[in-house]
Chain A
């Protein structure tokens, strides 16, 4: 390998192994191309403001004296920002170092000389593919007003408007919808082109020699055909001969057919893609959420659970492979997606970070088989995930446990317990359940002794629970790993301990504030 090739490969490896460079590239790539990236919307908004101000300045310049600052801003500053953006997109469009390394490693593997020419060609081809894309060409044209001395180039400002496609997600969707109907649209345009061509020739043949007719040239005929087929019909050019009027009738009927055809194509495309667009929007919303309760499987229990969690101000996302169930879920305004929760690919498409974003997964599938399968999928994705599952048949309990479910709820057993409790100690039962139901205004709640509190609160005495209005039922002691009922005032508290307290809602709220104030003071 010659010195040049060696230097090229060494540089490629150096670039590839640079942690800082890789991280920067990742951020830039996210900023430019990842719709789920949290800062991208701000970047997009900023660029849209620049584009609209640029067009505003252009329009203002037509009738008013050009303001120096606006001229500099429009011709230099905006162009410069667009240039930077273009270069950044150019940079992240392909990984040149990686292409170089891949070629080098492939050649080494095949025990042949490093083909530097081929590697360079691959790098250039990748960049050329980006540069020759429509979006990149628009980006480049949008920078042109930089050379404003050439007056014609000022018109390129209008190309900046096309850049809006890049930043507005809805326009992306619109483009994607039209692209999905490429064949139908092409057929339509061919049909329209053919009609216009035939109509132009016919009207020209019928009218060009008539001295009363305004159709004198082929361009007049073309203009009349386009105006007529589009059903606009200005009336400035009209056929005067009988034959010409017959052609006009045919073109008018064809125009209506063309419009109907075009409308049906666009409407059907939108109808077909509506769910995808909505899902795309929901996924974007989902990616911004934190501490989500992910409910897998939608039914009556899921509906109750989701509604209650939402009333508590929690973020709830429902997944079910059955689209009809999801349609039902959406009727209750839940964030619901027709995704199979038992498919890794499906979960992957959501693009959520299980550790950072998911508070717990609730498996509420129709069968235990479904819940076990989903549990295994989610567990394989993340070991730390907290999973709770509904159990349908108690003989399947072990299977759910083996699949990694942390908590199992068996409704029948629960109802059995409640019936027994009520039969046994109705008043005590009602008292405890009134506390749980929170109807009475008195609630039972947990207060975590966090790291800050632990520094200032050493024992129960420091909690300053002045009897009566707030009851300290006990402490779930981390140190002793047990629940300590009604602890004495000298009971030592530590970080991670949970205080179980009973009191009026408002009183408890104030008590929490008091505790934190005490810590601060």
Chain B
């Protein structure tokens, strides 16, 4: 599954930064702003932008395929962001909505309103400050992993029905493979969406549809993927490489 479009609501400082970060990885970014000046600014930055109204019935969005589209709610006003999330969720139950919140209290409201993922600005900033001071090496490493600045990558591998790993325990799989990779976690899609970290659930039985989160170099990940018969879902750089 490759994300083909991002619908970004709002065009403030945070939204600009989000658009900036996404424009090289996502083929289509559509900005919906609540006033004309923001629309003009977004257009001046080379983005596809439209004027929106919170009272809209969102017919414009019907053309998007929500299995490959993400909605990001980054409006300036917290109350408007909650309202927007609520009305989008009501209209598009299947859409993946990411929303920005300043405080933890607001984050809970956004979750209640139906956001799949809420990024709490204050808490995230505070956490990052502390991580940089307390665990600088880990912070750099994780940032680099997610940023793909290193050859080292993090990838998701979905185990297919034919996968040789199906029916085996994680420890068996790890003992048998000679690949220079680390399996960080497994997501058992049938049981729940939560993670089973290999450092904790060492004896988890693998099933078809489970997602392995692996860290390793490109080549090794590809070789491992072939070995287990999985599909590397999202790492496009790896696919193209």
Stretch of B31-39, B77-85, B133-141 at the chain-chain interface = B133-141
With beta carbons under 8 angstroms apart, the residue of B102, B124, B147, B199 that contacts A502 is B199
Interface residues of B in 127-180 (CB under 8 A from A): 127-135, 137-138, 141-143, 145-147, 150, 152, 154-156, 171, 174-175, 180
Given contacts A415-B100, A425-B234, contact A436 B18 (CB under 8 A): no
Interface residue? B103 (CB, 8 A): yes
A513 located at the interface, meaning its Cβ lies under 8 Å from any Cβ of chain B in the complex = no
Known: A416-B17, A419-B22, A500-B137. Is A308-B126 also a contact (CB below 8 A)?
yes
Partner of B174, one of A421, A468, A485: A468
- Which chain A residues numbered 435 to 457 have a C-beta less than 8 Å away from chain B? 435-437, 440-442, 444-446
Q: Are B121 and A500 in contact (CB under 8 A)?
A: no
Task: Assess whether A390 is in contact with B125, with CB atoms less than 8 Å apart.
Answer: yes
Whether the pair B216, A486 counts as a contact (CB closer than 8 A) is yes
**Across the interface, do A440 and B125 meet the contact criterion of CB distance under 8 Å?**
no
Contact B128 A414 (CB under 8 A): yes
Q: Is B156 within 8 A of A423, CB to CB? A: no
| Residues of A with C-beta under 8 A to B14 | 412, 415-416
Q: How far is B184's CA from A282's CA once the two chains are assembled, in angstroms?
A: 46
Does A401 have its Cβ within 8 Å of any Cβ on chain B?
no
Are A503 and B199 in contact (CB-based, < 8 A)?
yes
The chain A residue sitting closest to B2, CB to CB, is A424
Inter-chain contacts of B152 with A (CB < 8 A): 483, 485
A448-487 interface bits toward B, Cβ cutoff 8 Å, 1 = contact, 0 = none: 0000000000000000000111110110100000010110
Taking a contact as CB atoms under 8 Å apart, the answer to whether A415 and B18 are in contact is yes
Whether the pair A423, B122 counts as a contact (CB closer than 8 A) is: no
Contacts of A415 in B (CB 8 A): 14, 17-18, 100, 119, 121, 124
Closest to A498 in B: B137
Query: How many of chain A's residues touch chain B, expressed as a range?
Result: 35 or more
Report the minimum CB–CB distance from A390 to chain B (whole Å).
7
Minimum CB–CB distance for B27 against chain A, Å: 12
Flag whether A56 is at the interface (Cβ < 8 A): no
A422 located at the interface, meaning its Cβ lies under 8 Å from any Cβ of chain B in the complex: yes
- Rounded to whole Å, the gap between the CB of B28 and the closest CB of chain A is 12
Contact B122 A432 (CB under 8 A): no
Given contacts A388-B129, A432-B146, A424 and B199 within 8 Å (CB-CB): no
By the criterion CB–CB under 8 Å, are A428 and B156 in contact? yes
B215 and A473 contact, CB distance less than 8 A: yes
Question: A residues within 8 A CB of B181?
Answer: 486
| B interface residue count range (under 10 / 10 to 19 / 20 to 34 / 35 or more) | 35 or more
Q: How far is the CA of A390 from the CA of B103 in the complex (A)?
A: 17
Distance in angstroms between the alpha carbons of A467 and B183 in the assembled complex: 12
Interface stretch, picked from A181-189, A205-213, A297-305, is A297-305
**Whole-angstrom distance between the alpha carbons of A456 and B187 in the complex?**
39
Task: Please tell me if the beta carbons of A504 and B133 are within 8 angstroms of each other in the complex.
Answer: no
Shortest B199–chain A CB gap in Å is 5
Q: Is the interface of B mostly helix, strand, loop or mixed?
A: mixed
Judge whether A419 and B21 touch: CB under 8 Å: yes
A293 CB within 8 Å of chain B: yes
B185 close to chain A: CB less than 8 A? yes
Decide if A423 touches B142 in the complex (CB within 8 Å). no
Query: Given A301-B126, A411-B121, A427-B213 in contact, is the A469-B26 Cβ separation under 8 Å?
Result: no
CB–CB B133/A293 < 8 A: yes
Check B146–A486 contact: CB distance below 8 A.
no
Query: Which of A423, A468, A500 has the most CB atoms of chain B within a 10 A radius of its CB?
Result: A423
User: How many Å lie between the Cα of A503 and that of B201 in the bound state?
Assistant: 11
Is A309 interfacial (CB-CB < 8 Å)? Answer: yes
Kindly list chain A residues whose C-beta atoms are within 8 Å of the C-beta of B125: 301, 304, 390, 409, 411, 414
B64 within 8 A of A: no
A432 near B17 with CB under 8 A, answer no
Which residue of chain A is the closest to B24 with respect to CB atoms?
A: A420
A285 CB → nearest B CB, Å: 22
Q: How far is the CA of A342 from the CA of B13 in the complex (A)?
A: 28
Q: Does A362 contact B (CB under 8 A)?
A: yes
Q: Which residues of chain B from 76 to 112 have a CB within 8 Å of any chain A CB? A: 96, 98, 100, 102-103
A407 beta carbon closer than 8 Å to chain B: yes
Considering the complex, which residues of chain A in the window 153-206 have a beta carbon less than 8 Å from any beta carbon of chain B?
none
The winner among A293, A304, A476 for most chain B CB atoms within 10 A is: A304
A428-B214 Cα distance, complex, nearest whole Å: 8
A312 at the interface (CB under 8 A from B): yes
A166 to chain B, nearest CB (A): 42
Shortest CB-to-CB span from B169 to chain A, Å, is 11
Which residue of A304, A412, A467, A502 contacts B17 across the interface (Cβ within 8 Å)? A412
Residue A429 interfacial (CB < 8 Å): yes
- Asked whether B48 is an interface residue with its Cβ less than 8 Å from the other chain, the reply is no
Do the beta carbons of A431 and B184 come within 8 Å of each other?
yes
Chain B 175-202, CB-CB to A under 8 Å as 1, else 0, gives 1000011101101000000010111101
Interchain CB contact (< 8 A) of A425 among B22, B117, B119, B235: B235
Q: A308-B130, A390-B125, A468-B174 are in contact. List 20 more A-B contacts (CB 8 A).
A: A300-B122, A409-B128, A409-B132, A414-B125, A419-B74, A419-B100, A423-B6, A423-B72, A426-B117, A432-B145, A432-B154, A436-B127, A440-B197, A442-B197, A442-B200, A467-B174, A468-B171, A473-B141, A474-B141, A504-B200
- Chain A interface residues toward B at CB < 8 A: 293, 300-301, 304-305, 308-309, 312, 359-360, 362, 386, 388, 390, 407, 409, 411-432, 434-437, 440-442, 444-446, 467-471, 473-474, 476, 483, 485-486, 498, 500, 502-504, 507
- Please give the residue numbers on chain B whose beta carbons come within 8 Å of chain A beta carbons, in ascending order: 3, 6, 13-14, 16-22, 25-26, 70, 72, 74, 96, 98, 100, 102-103, 117, 119, 121-135, 137-138, 141-143, 145-147, 150, 152, 154-156, 171, 174-175, 180-182, 184-185, 187, 195, 197-200, 202, 211, 213, 215-217, 233-235
Give me 9 A-to-B residue pairs in the complex whose CB atoms sit less than 8 angstroms apart, sorted by A's number: A301-B125, A304-B126, A359-B133, A362-B133, A416-B17, A416-B22, A419-B72, A432-B142, A502-B197
Top 7 nearest A-B pairs by Cβ distance? Answer: A416-B17, A304-B126, A416-B21, A442-B197, A412-B17, A305-B126, A420-B21
